[in-house]
Amino acid sequence: MTDQMQHITLASRPNGAPVPDNFALETCAVPTPKDGEVLVRVHYMSLDPYMRGRMDDAKSYAAPVPIGGTMEGGGVGKVIQSKADGFEPGDYVFGMLGWATHAIQPAKMLRKIDPDIVPITTALGVLGMPGFTGWHGLMEYGRPKAGETLVVAAATGPVGSMVGQLAKSLGLRTVGIAGGADKCALATDTFGFDACLDHRAHDDARSLRAAVKQAAPDGIDIYFENVGGKVLEAVMPLMNPFGRIPVCGMISWYNAGGLGAGADAPMSAPALWRPILVNFLNVQGFIISNHWNQYPTFLTEVTPKVIRGDIKLVEDIAEGLENAPEAFIGLLQGRNVGKQIVKVI
């Protein structure tokens, strides 16, 4: 065991889209756990769109990463030293381990995972925060009913693919939106979407709207909102009366510089609010960290589906901690295919 570790810190706040210089790869001594703490060797770390928000100091649902602080994020790894009851070297755990090769965490912030049931990377995607987000948002706020039509963007991502597969299994017509023909093929062939539209083939919301209208001839009952921007503009006028819009993310706006900026959204505020009134829509923003009490129910319900292959997953694994910034920049541009993970060791 080396006594040095690496971690990636926030070197500067991005002005719009993050660039490599916003990150710094640093080396320091591996810390020693105190009583009640556990030292973990990180095997895989997760990259997720919400991390873009942590890089700003704008008011949001979580405190920003301070300049010079280690980038936050979930990871899975193996316990290498424990000063806490219930954790032994060799145990696999999930925790908010950060963008790092090693992490110290209080035992209560770690969750043991069993590598014999499903691959440990699933704790970052299909059975982790993103999959849980899709399940909770769809079931709790989407209130799906057989025969209805659902639209979700980032359809091959870990949230969108969970939403689409669950909705399909419940008898809904599922229309995905994704970036590129390859992703659209993945959406229909692997994730079972009834149709998938390539948003890159449409220059503006109007053009995309015409395509969605064709793919959703009976209108849209549930729009699972995880991107904002052009897709939101395209679908709002197509929502059916009493439609539901769970909102878990607006990735297309994350680079817009926070509240007040709107260069990516030429549609007016009234145009995006009036349909709420006119079609009696329910729009529910949520962030999954407020709902962890539902996580055991999710695992109980969905783990067997993953084991049986009823819920499929696709992972995009970058190699090496040093490549995490580039992979994250790519994620925000939609260059990943499936759940973006970094293999740290």
Please give the residue ranges that form the binding site for a copy of itself (CB under 8 A): 59-61, 228, 232-233, 237, 241, 247-250, 253, 256, 258-262, 264-265, 267-287, 290
**CB of residue 263 to a copy of itself, shortest distance in Å:** 9
HSE toward the beta carbon, residue 171, CA cutoff 13 A: 5
- The residue (of 93 and 256) whose beta carbon lies closer to a copy of itself is 256
Rg, the chain, Cα only: 20
> Side chain identity at 335, as an amino acid letter?
R
For residue 195, which of 237, 149, 231, 230 has the smallest C-alpha distance? 149
For residue 117, which of 283, 306, 273, 243 has the smallest C-alpha distance? 306
- The residue (of 146 and 277) whose beta carbon lies closer to a copy of itself is 277
Residue 99's region, left for phi above 0, alpha for psi from -120 to 50, else beta, is: beta
**CB of residue 208 to a copy of itself, shortest distance in Å:** 16
Asked if residue 84 lies in contact with residue 38, where contact means CB atoms within 8 angstroms, the answer is yes
Asked if residue 101 lies in contact with residue 41, where contact means CB atoms within 8 angstroms, the answer is yes
> Side chain identity at 138, as an amino acid letter?
L
**CB of residue 274 to a copy of itself, shortest distance in Å:** 6
Residue 154's region, left for phi above 0, alpha for psi from -120 to 50, else beta, is: left
**CB of residue 168 to a copy of itself, shortest distance in Å:** 25
- The residue (of 262 and 330) whose beta carbon lies closer to a copy of itself is 262
- The residue (of 131 and 228) whose beta carbon lies closer to a copy of itself is 228
**CB of residue 229 to a copy of itself, shortest distance in Å:** 8
Which tokens hold the place of 247?
């909102």
- The residue (of 77 and 228) whose beta carbon lies closer to a copy of itself is 228
Asked if residue 71 lies in contact with residue 325, where contact means CB atoms within 8 angstroms, the answer is no
**CB of residue 242 to a copy of itself, shortest distance in Å:** 8
d(CA 61, CA 53): 9
- Which residue do the tokens 């209560």 mark? 108
- The residue (of 32 and 268) whose beta carbon lies closer to a copy of itself is 268
- The residue (of 192 and 258) whose beta carbon lies closer to a copy of itself is 258
**CB of residue 283 to a copy of itself, shortest distance in Å:** 4
